[in-house]
Amino acid sequence: MKTDTMRDRFVSVVTELLDSNPKVALVMADISTDRFKSNGAIDRHPHRVVNVGIREQLMVNVAAGMALEGMRPIAHSFAPFVIERSFEQVKLGFSHQGVGGILVSAGASYDIAAYGRTHESPGDVALVATLPDWRIHVPGHPDEAETFLRDAIASDDAVYIRLSERKNAAPAAIDGKLVVQRRGAPGAPAIIAVGPMLDPAMEAAETFDATVLYAATVRPFDRAGLRAAVDGTDVVLVEPYLEGTSAAEVAAALSHVPHRLLSIGVPRTEHRKYGAAAQHDEAHGLDAPGLRTRIAAWLHQPRHPPPPERVE
């Protein structure tokens, strides 16, 4: 059984794709370049594996320029740099030009928590989701990341793949749709777990009667799949990035039926803590015990609580 990380798999799969497909290009800004140097990819493909130095805005627009010339470029860096720092390049270089391309980030919301806020990116998915026609994949396992990479190379779409050091114990079936992991009784709450949140969500749900749905692709969001899977009124959305990022998708999917939604994710507040990612999960209630506590409290809330007092 492979024990590699998503980023390890990214390096091996992209290297293989570079070797086999002359349309594939990789543009980097000093992040991960050592890995493609040591495995020989840079030396074998000096014109298709390009390191532009610490220039992420250039990196994204170089990839866009290559896409305009019919290549299939991948731009890669940590999430704050490939998405947040270069967001206008993503918006104009790809979407506005009308070409697709592939963005692959590492680091996720706070994988390298000891680096602090500058290297955290809980808002990346929400940002990319403001643009039309981006496919956004949040794999929960290296095997899923590999599938998404290979599919992205084979298409002409705009694709964002968000890699993480966090992963589920086993890969799940992925086809862009919501996949039922556990079926609750009729009317039971539906828990949507995104990417690496599947294992903690499944563990948390052991004490509830609940249906658990897995989403590794969050844009386009599988609205039809959600409509088909939900036969009760309670929906819980568990995302490993900014809380509520897909809440509007859930609302749109269920706009015709009465429902209530609990959105769980990384809070918007600045946390100003270092340490390890697991400590941040615990602080945000994103580990299994935290999820269980929060979901249980919400499920047992009265359906029609008294209105809050008005504050003038």
Partner 1 sequence: MSYATAASTAPAPPPPASDGYADLRRLMGLMIGDEKHTSSATSTLDVLWVLYDRVLRVDPARVDDDDRDRFLLSKGHGPMAYYAVLAAKGFIDEEALRTWVRYDSPLGLHPDRNLIPGVEISSGSLGHGLPIAVGRALALRARRNLRPRVFCLVGDAEFDEGTNSEAVVAAARLGLDALTAIIVDNQSSSLRWPGGIEQRFAVEGWAATTVDGRDHAALEAALTSPHPGVPLAVVAEVEKKE
Interface with partner 1, residue 180, by CB under 8 A: no
Interface with partner 1, residue 97, by CB under 8 A: yes
Could you tell me the smallest distance in angstroms from the CB atom of residue 42 to partner 1?
Answer: 13
Could you tell me the smallest distance in angstroms from the CB atom of residue 185 to partner 1?
Answer: 51
Q: Which two tokens stand for residue 233?
A: 């009124």
Could you tell me the smallest distance in angstroms from the CB atom of residue 64 to partner 1?
Answer: 6
Residue of 1, 20, 69, 302 interacting with partner 1 (CB under 8 A)? 69
Residue 113: HSE in the Cβ half-sphere, 13 Å Cα cutoff: 17
Q: Name residue, tokens 């990341």.
A: 145
Interface with partner 1, residue 25, by CB under 8 A: yes
Could you tell me the smallest distance in angstroms from the CB atom of residue 274 to partner 1?
Answer: 30
Residue of 61, 77, 164, 245 interacting with partner 1 (CB under 8 A)? 61
Point out which span in 88-96, 186-194, 227-235, 240-248 binds partner 1 (CB under 8 A).
Answer: 88-96
For residue 107, give the nearest of 259, 5, 243 by alpha carbon. 5
- What x/- string results for residues 231 through 260 when contact with partner 1 is judged by CB under 8 A? ------------------------------
Interface with partner 1, residue 62, by CB under 8 A: yes
DSSP tag of 100 = -
Beta strands in the chain (DSSP E): 24-28, 49-51, 72-78, 101-106, 134-137, 158-162, 179-182, 190-194, 211-215, 217-219, 234-242, 260-266
DSSP tag of 92 = I
- Name residues whose C-beta falls within 8 Å of residue 137's C-beta, 6 or more positions apart in sequence: 144, 145, 148, 152, 159, 160, 161, 162, 216, 217, 218
Residue of 1, 47, 186, 300 interacting with partner 1 (CB under 8 A)? 47
